[in-house]
Amino acid sequence: MASGSNSLVWFRKGIRIHDNPALEYAAKGSSYLYPVFVIDPRYMEPDPTAFSPGSARAGVNRIRFLLESLADLDSSLRKLGSRLLVLKGEPGEVLFRCLKEWDIKRLCFEYDTEPYYQALDIKVKNYASAAGIEVFSPVSHTLFNPADIIQKFPSLSDDMYGCFDETSEKNSGRPPSSYQSFLKIAGQPSWASSALLTTITSLPPVGNVENCGISNVPTLQELGYEESGQDELTPFRGGESEALKRLRGAMDDKEWVAKFEKPKGDPSAFLRPATTVLSPYLKFGCLSSRYFYQCIQDVQKNVKSHTLPPVSLLGQLLWRDFFYTAAFGTPNFDRMNGNRICKQIPWNADDELLAAWRDARTGFPWIDAIMVQLQKWGWMHHLARHCVACFLTRGDLFVHWEKGRDVFERLLIDSDWAINNGNWLWLSCSSFFYQYNRIYSPISFGKKYDPNGDYIRYFLPILKDMPKEYIYEPWTAPLSIQTKAKCIIGKDYPKPDHESPYDLQVHEWLMTQFDKIVVSHDTASKECKNKLAEAYELNKTRNGAVNEEDLKILRRKFEENQSQEPKSKRLKNKS
């Protein structure tokens, strides 16, 4: 490109100034630079029919986080002599209009591996090349280029059998299916010991943008959302400035960084979370994962000893790349059907169970408190996510992981297509992880970290006066205690009734008859284990070719087993 012409940098993720190759390249030698963000109504427009405040695809917490991130980007750009140009509409159409209107010769945007952008970006690139516009689309969202990893990974079908199927021809490798093999292929990132940061001191000016429908970064209200109370909204503020502040805060405690062991974190810690809470900033690219990587490396160089992947802090960033690689290299990664790495399992399609889980009324306080934190904060600890995901799918309710995935995808401020789907595959024992006998107890897991139940008391204030002896299993509290705690189970707080619609009197009677609880996690989890064993068996005999009919037959069998042992009979057997 001849220097002295116009460039456009298109922000999607990568909402930052630091370590932003697309921005740097766009700025180099241009007379005018147009920094653009397109507000896609499909993602941002209020949808009153959704189950929570927000658009059709995103809860209001994440929309707000995005707007804050954009406002921060705009303010940073202004300090460099530029500004953010916000436009509304279908991104492709808006972009084509801008390219024409402003006579753009160079278009720069961060490469994105998600299916949505893969499809959109092909259109954009085709348009640009037909119009003689240079396109620069660097990989800067992840540590590695997922395509490189897949290329390097020896394809099973090529190596062992020397045959070529359609997939191996197109794609010489498949993504590694375990973290360890991923680490081995990935190695050190090429840039690990080189300087990433070129400090930008000024940017080319923005050209004439009159009559182009440019606006400032809108507020939630300007987008048509109603004002809501502070305590209904996430405590985490969006933006690059906030990300770097948070990063600095974490890195300052060198001991903590060096000793970080993810599985040892306390999921019930909420006043001071046990992790960095940098995930939402990584999701939107307010924080560069590569810069984060280098910061951790710096700390590790200066301490005597440190933890290692998979549990270390660096290991967490590598998990992110692991899931990005798996997601990029697996067709239909976000579905069970047609997903070659996903076990085919006849999950329930029970919308009532799903709604009880989603709306925090399962009757298990540990589970419900986590779901309230999800709705209010849009963030909860990784292990808390494990508990509710396990409970919904393979642990207790046997509801399809795709349903839970949808709820997380909407409500999490850090929801990330690759990572969210990857973790649901993991937790439901559909892929990556297969030890389905390891089930999180909705009662004892939380108790181990928080015996007093402070986390439950905070997010489920109705239970705030329940004595700690009963707070994880309030249905076991004698009625006198429930009365004193101003929380009658079955009236003020649900009893776990997804299996047993008993009235309170029967419930009370049962409490005198059994030392075990009425709706037993024990019973539900045992049934789930049996179902998973049968489903695994089916997958084995069908050798990865389970069809709709197979699943239907097995689903019918599960239903028959359940009706053979009705609730009343089950109780009589016990008494």
Partner DNA sequence: CAGAGGTTGATCCT
Partner DNA sequence: AGGATCAACCTCTG
- The closest of 72, 129, 42, 142 to 416, measured between CA atoms, is 142
319 is in an annotated binding site: yes
Alpha-carbon gap, residue 37 to 39, rounded angstroms? 6
Q: Does the protein bind DNA through residue 452 (CB under 7 A)?
A: no
Report, in Å, the least distance between residue 521 CB and DNA.
Answer: 9
Q: Does the protein bind DNA through residue 445 (CB under 7 A)?
A: yes
Say if CB 457 and CB 470 are below 8 A apart.
Answer: no
Q: Does the protein bind DNA through residue 155 (CB under 7 A)?
A: no
- Given the rule CB under 7 A, which of 32-40, 260-268, 288-296, 510-518 is the region that contacts DNA? 260-268
391 is in an annotated binding site: no
Q: Residue 33's beta-bridge partner residues? A: 7
Q: Does the protein bind DNA through residue 438 (CB under 7 A)?
A: yes
Say if CB 280 and CB 236 are below 8 A apart.
Answer: yes
Report, in Å, the least distance between residue 250 CB and DNA.
Answer: 17
Alpha-carbon gap, residue 216 to 524, rounded angstroms? 53
Alpha-carbon gap, residue 125 to 129, rounded angstroms? 6
Task: Choose which of 439, 489, 524, 528 interacts with DNA (CB under 7 A).
Answer: 439
164 is in an annotated binding site: no
Residues 6+ apart with CB under 8 A from 388: 357, 367, 370, 371, 374, 404
Eight-state DSSP code of residue 104: E
Q: Which residue has the tokens 């994105």?
A: 112
288 is in an annotated binding site: no
Q: Does the protein bind DNA through residue 172 (CB under 7 A)?
A: no
320 is in an annotated binding site: yes
Q: Does the protein bind DNA through residue 146 (CB under 7 A)?
A: no
Task: Choose which of 31, 118, 126, 178 interacts with DNA (CB under 7 A).
Answer: 178
HSE-CB of 167 using CA atoms within 13 angstroms: 12
Report, in Å, the least distance between residue 99 CB and DNA.
Answer: 41
Report, in Å, the least distance between residue 278 CB and DNA.
Answer: 14
- Given the rule CB under 7 A, which of 74-82, 122-130, 171-179, 212-220 is the region that contacts DNA? 171-179
What is the token pair recorded at 529? 């284990």
Touching DNA, residues 531-560 (CB under 7 A): 533, 536, 539-540
How many other CB atoms are found less than 10 A from the CB of residue 144?
A: 22
Q: Is 224 left (phi over 0), alpha (psi -120 to 50) or beta?
A: left
Tell me the site size for DNA, rule CB under 7 A.
36
Q: Does the protein bind DNA through residue 171 (CB under 7 A)?
A: no
Amino acid at 272: R
223 is in an annotated binding site: no
**Cβ-based burial of 263 (10 A; exposed 0-12, middle 13-18, buried ≥19):** exposed
3-class DSSP state of 33: strand
Q: Does the protein bind DNA through residue 449 (CB under 7 A)?
A: no
Q: Between 50 and 277, whose beta carbon lies closer to DNA?
A: 277
Task: Choose which of 263, 271, 302, 548 interacts with DNA (CB under 7 A).
Answer: 263
Say if CB 102 and CB 30 are below 8 A apart.
Answer: no
Alpha-carbon gap, residue 497 to 476, rounded angstroms? 14
Q: Between 239 and 365, whose beta carbon lies closer to DNA?
A: 365
414 is in an annotated binding site: yes
Q: Between 17 and 257, whose beta carbon lies closer to DNA?
A: 257
Q: Does the protein bind DNA through residue 568 (CB under 7 A)?
A: no
Alpha-carbon gap, residue 84 to 67, rounded angstroms? 12
- Given the rule CB under 7 A, which of 79-87, 198-206, 245-253, 262-270 is the region that contacts DNA? 262-270
Residues 6+ apart with CB under 8 A from 419: 319, 320, 323, 324
135 is in an annotated binding site: no
Say if CB 128 and CB 122 are below 8 A apart.
Answer: no
Q: Between 92 and 265, whose beta carbon lies closer to DNA?
A: 265
Q: Does the protein bind DNA through residue 236 (CB under 7 A)?
A: no
Eight-state DSSP code of residue 55: B
Q: Does the protein bind DNA through residue 329 (CB under 7 A)?
A: no
Touching DNA, residues 507-536 (CB under 7 A): 533, 536
Q: Does the protein bind DNA through residue 386 (CB under 7 A)?
A: yes
Which string of x and - marks every residue 284-323 that binds DNA (by CB under 7 A)? --------------------------xx---xx--x----
Eight-state DSSP code of residue 90: -
Task: Choose which of 43, 116, 433, 458 interacts with DNA (CB under 7 A).
Answer: 433
Q: Between 92 and 273, whose beta carbon lies closer to DNA?
A: 273
- Given the rule CB under 7 A, which of 189-197, 246-254, 324-332, 382-390 is the region that contacts DNA? 382-390
Amino acid at 56: A
Report, in Å, the least distance between residue 204 CB and DNA.
Answer: 42
198 is in an annotated binding site: no
- The closest of 334, 570, 411 to 65, measured between CA atoms, is 411
Task: Choose which of 70, 326, 383, 463 interacts with DNA (CB under 7 A).
Answer: 383
Alpha-carbon gap, residue 422 to 153, rounded angstroms? 19
- The closest of 413, 391, 500 to 239, measured between CA atoms, is 413
Report, in Å, the least distance between residue 157 CB and DNA.
Answer: 12
Alpha-carbon gap, residue 175 to 566, rounded angstroms? 45
Report, in Å, the least distance between residue 319 CB and DNA.
Answer: 5
Which string of x and - marks every residue 69-108 that binds DNA (by CB under 7 A)? ----------------------------------------
DSSP 518-565: SS-HHHHHHHHHHHHHHHHHHHHHTTT---HHHHHHHHHHHHHHHHHS
- The closest of 418, 417, 414 to 325, measured between CA atoms, is 418
Report, in Å, the least distance between residue 211 CB and DNA.
Answer: 50
Q: Does the protein bind DNA through residue 435 (CB under 7 A)?
A: yes
3-class DSSP state of 36: strand
Report, in Å, the least distance between residue 251 CB and DNA.
Answer: 19
Binding residues for FAD: 275-279, 316-323, 414-416
Where does this chain bind DNA (CB under 7 A)?
156, 176-181, 184, 262-263, 265, 310-311, 315-316, 319, 382-383, 386, 426, 433-441, 444-445, 448, 533, 536, 539-540
Binding positions: 275-279, 316-323, 414-416
